[in-house]
């Protein structure tokens, strides 16, 4: 008896629709993705400067921002949180000491509105010194010539 060998036929997919699917996924993710959003509710108009220091992208950082609201009160933003009053800010900075212990080289990225008076900036600096956050980077906009 001759056994008839079953001829296995390769299954072929129709690939015509593949680019469509890939593009659909691409567009979906392009639309959905948001680049790191500004962590502040209020716009901060940072000063311009001619000099810039190189900033290592790998440094671990803490984000701190200062600006004024409509009532001319100073508003502090720290790591996504929004605070009013220097004492509240102090309490929250002291909570970040764990991060400092984990990484002594941690940098504080400070965004300050250019209209803010230096007395407010200096108060913040004193708090940072008190909690041993010595490395700071004042964020700026480069002067456009």
**Can you give the binding site for another protein, defined by CB under 8 A?**
18-19, 22-23, 26, 35, 47, 49-53, 55, 57, 107, 109, 112-119, 121-122, 125-126, 128-130, 132-142
Nearer to another protein, 7 or 35 (CB): 35
Q: Which residue matches tokens 């629709």? A: 17
What whole-number distance in Å separates Cα of residue 140 and Cα of residue 118?
A: 16
Token digits for 99?
């991060």
CB of 94 to another protein, least distance (A): 14
Q: 8 vs 57, which CB is nearer to another protein?
A: 57
- Residue 130 has φ and ψ, to the nearest 5°, of -60, -40
Q: Which is nearer to another protein, 1 or 117 (CB)?
A: 117
Q: Within 13 A of 74's CA, how many CA atoms are on the CB side?
A: 21
């Amino acid at each position: 008896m001759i056994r008839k060998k079953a001829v296995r036929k390769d299954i072929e997919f129709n690939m015509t629709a593949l680019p469509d699917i890939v593009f659909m996924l691409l567009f979906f993710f392009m639309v959905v993705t948001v680049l790191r959003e500004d962590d502040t509710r209020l716009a901060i108009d940072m000063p311009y400067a001619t000099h810039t220091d190189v900033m290592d992208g790998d440094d671990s950082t803490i984000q701190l921002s200062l600006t004024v609201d409509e009532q001319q009160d100073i508003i502090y933003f720290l790591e996504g949180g929004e605070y009013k009053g220097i004492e509240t800010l102090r309490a929250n900075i002291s909570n970040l000491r764990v991060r400092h212990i984990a990484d002594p080289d941690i940098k504080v990225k400070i965004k300050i509105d250019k209209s803010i008076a230096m007395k407010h900036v200096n108060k913040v600096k004193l708090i940072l010194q008190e909690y041993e956050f010595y490395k700071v980077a004042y964020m700026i906009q480069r002067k456009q010539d």
